[in-house]
Amino acid sequence: MSDTTELTEQDLATLVDRFYEQVRVHSELGPVFNAAIDDWPEHKRMLTAFWSSVALGTKSYRGNPMAAHRPHPIRAEHFEQWLSLWQRTANEVLAPEHAAQVMEYATRIGHSLRYGLGLLDREGSRPLGLPVAGAR
């Protein structure tokens, strides 16, 4: 029998808060995010609205994630680091089924962002500009 506890906006706010506190001090992610974010409390509120819209269908987020990420020096490896930290934090603060749910969303969103930022080829399998193994 599965847990009948519903994922709530407060759960997502806790996840976002703890996650971005770790991002801020992360050796690779911190410099990128800290240079881009002037108001961390407001950023966390916006990201809670984003995740609430994604995971709960609240439609409380009004923004363009692709445009927000485009001007920043984001590299493909940042996404792997972001996802790893997101998964670890989600597993710490959410019930297992909710952690799995937000991880699935994050994986799909990350893939779309990487593709949109030109960090993946058309098949989505490798960063652009890297040679295909065995190609001459």
Q: Where are the domains of the chain?
A: 9-116
Domain 9-116 -> CATH class: mainly alpha
Q: What's the pLDDT score for residue 119?
A: 87
Taking CB atoms within 8 Å and a gap of at least 24, the contacts of 52-61 are: 52/9, 52/12, 54/105, 54/109, 55/7, 55/12, 55/101, 55/102, 55/105, 56/7, 56/8, 56/9, 56/12, 58/9
Query: What's the CA gap between 52 and 48, in Å, rounded?
Result: 6
Q: How confident is the model at residue 121 (pLDDT cuts 50, 70, 90)?
A: low
| Percent of the chain's residues with pLDDT above 70 | 85
Residues 6+ apart with CB under 8 A from 112: 66
Query: What's the CA gap between 13 and 112, in Å, rounded?
Result: 23
* Cα distances (angstroms) measured from residue 134 to each of 55, 126, 128, 130, 131: 41, 14, 16, 12, 8
Full-prediction pTM beyond 0.75?
yes
* Digit-coded pLDDT (tens) for 126-135: 554 444 344 3
| Percent of the chain's residues with pLDDT above 90 | 68
Is residue 82 within 8 Å of 110, Cβ to Cβ? yes
Judged against a pLDDT cut of 80, whether residue 69 lies above it is answered with yes
* Digit-coded pLDDT (tens) for 19-45: 999 999 999 999 999 999 999 999 999
Q: What's the pLDDT score for residue 30?
A: 96
What does the block give as tokens for 30?
């911190």
Q: How confident is the model at residue 99 (pLDDT cuts 50, 70, 90)?
A: very high
